[in-house]
A and B are shown apart, each in its own frame.
Chain A
Amino acid sequence: MQKPSLELKGSSFTLSVLHINDADLDGIARELDDKLAIAPQFFLGAPLVVNLSAISDPDYNLAGLKDLLISRQLVIVGITGAPSAIATQAKALGLALIKSGKQSLTQPQLPKTTKIVKQNIRSGQQVYAKNGELIIIGAVGNGAEVIADGSIHIYGSLRGKAMAGANGDKNAVIIAQNIDAELVSIAGQYWLTENLQAHASIKSGCIRLDGNSLTVEALSL
């Protein structure tokens, strides 16, 4: 097969960020020259991202700043933290708008995964389903722990501990064919054996959060 003439791959690079605290270009030019004089080789041709979060003036002279940096042999690759009016200027000047790692931390949605375990979970064993549901086909013994960020389904007896919604998901549930647990917990709210004994008539059931307290209901409709 012929090799494609281009490939698109993601990589991360470390870039220097120049923080502009003052709109006055002359002042910037002076301070920049002082800095460059310290280590001229280091900054020669260095790619820079300009952080404009301290600038509120929508008519800021971005073109002037760009020319200033270019005249000092610096390569400006993009801007970050700028208000939208300046962002429009940047587009016109062919500069990229770069979101810093911190800015883009608006909860990246991790894909939910389901973990299926087809065996008995023995005393002392621990199973954790990160970011998803946990399905156990087998029993969970005394002294065993099953934990999931989502719901937990147990097709067998639950004699050990089950903790659903470990990440705080209040909609998580615990379903077991035979509830005989040491502890059940959903999003931090928990019940011990003695709390469960009040509902001893329910053998196979679903434990969920009702407001801030746990409830258990039989599985049969």
Chain B
Amino acid sequence: MAQIIVVTSGKGGVGKTTSSAAIATGLALKGHKTVVVDFDIGLRNLDLIMGCERRVVYDFVNVINGEANLNQALIKDKRTSNLFVLPASQTRDKDALTKEGVGRVLDELKQDFEYIICDSPAGIETGAMMALYFADTAIVTTNPEVSSVRDSDRILGMLQSKSKRAEEGLEPVKELLLLTRYSPTRVATGEMLSVADVEEILAIPLLGVIPESQAVLKASNSGIPVIIDQESDAGKAYSDAVARLTGEEVEMRFVTEEKKGFLKRIFGS
């Protein structure tokens, strides 16, 4: 049975698209047939992060409007087999998404794919509501700072009241916390909320903690999902999160400050 996973947050710039790309790639690397759908109509970014921006011909809105069929719009990832991208339209706006249209496209995707990752736009308007409406699981991407946590709390409320599962009285959407841009050093100095603080406020299970990493920006700019870079902490942390998503038990890494060796302390890292 295909699973629809929405990557959402409420607040912008916390790493939804980076996480969508990484998690989709991670699932595909594990052999699951996966598609990642960009719901950010008008502010298309996912194709850049996935490195397929030059191959976009038809998009999500074209499929909804019946101007193209799904196979014409789906872009097969060149690097990873089992992975497909459904890009957003750059020339339209969020109102192009209708519940019926989105539902029809997702139903069609369910026939072919094991995992459907929906990359939600920021905010709580049409685009974000459409992205989360059909979800079975929600990955709530949060930065360890108060405004992001509050916005995530708001989105969790929306999931409990505005999703299809809530409206139809089905089993509620499974909510998972993905803490991104985490810096144990800054937590130690009291500048940043700790994992425990965020978990206490949001009170949902923790899927993973992604450390703040230079590798993320580099990966985004070169169009390679950061999970491919297994040298980086962020890449490893995303791999762990994907493993947990598929039911494996993996210990949390990168949540405590790294002990610096004697030489590192003298010469810096």
Contacts and interface: CB of A to CB of B under 8 A. Distances in A.
How large, as a class, is the contact surface on chain B?
10 to 19
A142 B156 CA distance: 13
Nearest to A156: B203
A122 B201 contact: no
B201 A141 contact: yes
A76 to B, nearest CB: 55
Given A120-B203, A159-B201, A141 B153 contact: yes
A62 B149 CA distance: 75
Interface in B131-177: 150-151, 153-154, 156-158, 160-161
Nearest to A139: B203
Given A142-B150, A143-B154, A125 B203 contact: no
A155 B215 CA distance: 43
A98 to B, nearest CB: 46
B206 to A, nearest CB: 16
A124 interface: yes
Contacts of A159: 201
A123 B146 CA distance: 12
Contacts of B160: 119, 122
Given A142-B150, A143-B150, A123 B157 contact: yes
B146 to A, nearest CB: 8
Contacts, number: 36
Chain B interface secondary structure, helix, strand, loop or mixed? helix
Interface string A182-207: 00000000000000000000000000
Interface string B45-75: 0000000000000000000000000000000
Nearest to B204: A120
Interface string A100-132: 000000000000000000011111110000000
B157 A124 contact: yes
Contacts of B150: 123, 141-143
B201 to A, nearest CB: 7
A120 B153 CA distance: 10
A120 B175 CA distance: 13
Contacts of A121: 157
A138 B203 CA distance: 10
Contacts of B154: 122-124, 143
A123 B202 CA distance: 10
A120 B158 CA distance: 12
B179 to A, nearest CB: 17
Contacts of A142: 150, 153, 201
Interface of B: 124, 150-151, 153-154, 156-158, 160-161, 201, 203
Interface pairs A-B: 8 shortest CB-CB = A122-B157, A123-B153, A123-B154, A124-B154, A125-B157, A141-B153, A122-B153, A122-B156
Interface of A: 119-125, 138-139, 141-144, 159
